[in-house]
């Protein structure tokens, strides 16, 4: 649903509009170099793996910095795909799958970090954050496969990424995973409720 038609503020759409010009400029340069959207997607994945290794060994701020540097690549691959002018369904599918890996790799690294710190609360909150993150994505995908709209909720993927990176940069990941654990699961519940309302209206 279009943001203007729905009348609801969409943070991801806002960021894409705000940074549209620099993204298109960068994408055009990459296109001239023969770099494909999938190359950018994979580079971002390897960067997130590097960030996860740093986090797992306790280098939180450095890992957060690497993750922050890799984050914009998700928008760059999309801009590059649009400039190429040949939409590829596999590319869109591949990008979505790697997005899930990107997020879960970082959260998985935090489980290792908290476990090494003997912080069982951190381990539990991170597990709940992972559960919520997976369910937010799954509820939307499953709803759309059944013809429902589930684009709703207070903490979508880009907001989760920002919350996580900020917590890492301040070396306070316990707050990040706590926020994600609560709000991501609330978001999943919001999406379930929206689909329930639509099914009752049929």
From CA 122, how far away is CA 97, in angstroms rounded? Answer: 26
Q: Respond yes or no: is residue 99 known to be catalytic.
A: yes
Distance CA 128, CA 126 (A): 5
Give the contacts of 191 (CB within 8 A, at least 6 positions apart).
Answer: 136, 139, 140, 143, 150, 152, 153
The span from the CA of 105 to the CA of 130, in Å, is 10
| Whole-number Å distance between alpha carbons of 67 and 164 | 9
Catalytic residue among 74, 77, 95, 99: 99
d(CA 173, CA 176): 5
Among 132, 162, 176, 170, which Cα is nearest to 11's? Answer: 162
Q: Are the beta carbons of 165 and 196 closer than 8 angstroms?
A: no
| Catalytic residue annotation | 99
């Amino acid at each position: 649903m279009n943001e203007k038609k729905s009348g609801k503020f969409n943070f991801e759409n806002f960021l894409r509009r705000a940074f549209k010009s620099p993204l298109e400029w960068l994408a055009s340069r990459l296109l001239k170099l023969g770099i494909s959207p999938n190359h950018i997607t994979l580079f971002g994945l390897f960067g997130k793996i590097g960030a996860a290794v740093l986090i797992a060994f306790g280098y939180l701020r450095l890992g957060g910095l690497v993750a922050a540097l890799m984050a914009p690549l998700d928008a760059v691959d999309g801009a590059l795909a649009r400039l190429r002018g040949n939409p590829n369904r596999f590319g869109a599918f591949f990008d979505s799958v790697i997005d899930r890996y990107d997020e879960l790799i970082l959260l998985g690294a935090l489980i290792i970090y908290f476990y090494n710190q003997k912080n069982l609360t951190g381990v539990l909150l991170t597990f709940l954050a992972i559960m919520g993150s997976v369910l937010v994505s799954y509820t939307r995908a499953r709803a759309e496969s059944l013809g429902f709209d589930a684009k709703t909720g207070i903490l979508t993927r880009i907001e989760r990424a920002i919350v996580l990176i900020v917590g890492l940069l301040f070396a306070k990941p316990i707050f990040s995973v706590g926020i994600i654990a609560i709000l991501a699961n609330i978001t999943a519940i919001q999406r379930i409720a929206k689909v329930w309302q639509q099914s009752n209206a049929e």
